Amino acid sequence: MRLYPAIDLRGGTVVRLYQGDYAQSTAYDNDPVELAQAYEEAGASWLHLVDLDGAKGEAGENLYVFEEIATRTALRIQAGGGVRNAQDLQRLHDAGVTRVVIGSLAVKQPEVVRQWFIRQGSEGICLAADVRRAEDGSLHVLTAGWTEDSAIELNAFIQTFQDVDLRHALCTDVSRDGTLSGPNVALYQDLVTRFPWLQVQASGGVSSLADLQALDAAEVDGAIIGKALLEGRFTLEEAAACLPSA
């Protein structure tokens, strides 16, 4: 299982949200570029970056941070937040992003994103499914920085892109994100079973090495780790050591 240390940015500052709520945001003193360099020194090969301002449709300085990290590290960068058109997609690639994460636009304009998959190939784009359980028990995909419920069910959303060489999909259980309450392993097990051709990345709730081992046992392809690293629950070296395949 591949480990993706995560850095979420708001106004160029490292932050973590609680359950995707912008009103419950914790800021950290870490310089984002130095933090990325520390993750690289700890053995990371990939970094997951999120432009929280962009996700809400707000302009900010986060793209400059992306560029600085790409310039000052050899990390492969997976990043998203606010991709609304082809120009945004190109700007991220120009900033040094290896794989662009696309969520809201894939919900609202799936045909546009389908064409991007056809032109860009499967390695340059990661589909993002940020989900919350609805009253009827189904998992609905959220948009606009997790602030709007699309009413589209998770499995149906993924199937929309099944025939255009979708390979990477990041799924965040928003109810677990930033809570350190443990990942929704059952959710990821179901995705791996339903879509065996898909490389699923788990996001939200990782708090311990045991959580990572549970995701690895579920045959998840990757795990996003944010708050647990920032708050010293374990180190990236410890995480890699407990996962022989990391």
Q: Which of 71, 82, 59 is nearest to 12 (CA)?
A: 59
Task: State the Cα–Cα distance between residues 110 and 15, nearest whole angstrom.
Answer: 30
Task: State the Cα–Cα distance between residues 113 and 104, nearest whole angstrom.
Answer: 10
Token output for 57:
């449709």
Q: Position 234: which residue type? A: F
Contact 89, 83 (CB under 8 A): yes
The enclosing H or E element of 186 equals helix 185-194
Token output for 94:
């120009």
Decide if 8 is catalytic: yes
Q: Which of 8, 88, 216, 221 is catalytic?
A: 8
Token output for 185:
């392993």
Decide if 163 is catalytic: no
Residue 218 C-alpha from the chain's centroid: 18
Q: Which of 130, 173, 211, 221 is catalytic?
A: 130
Query: What residues have CB less than 8 Å from 183, skipping those under 6 apart?
Result: 173, 176, 202, 203, 204, 205, 206, 211, 214, 215, 223
What SS3 state is found at 76?
strand
Give me the active site residues, please.
Answer: 8, 130
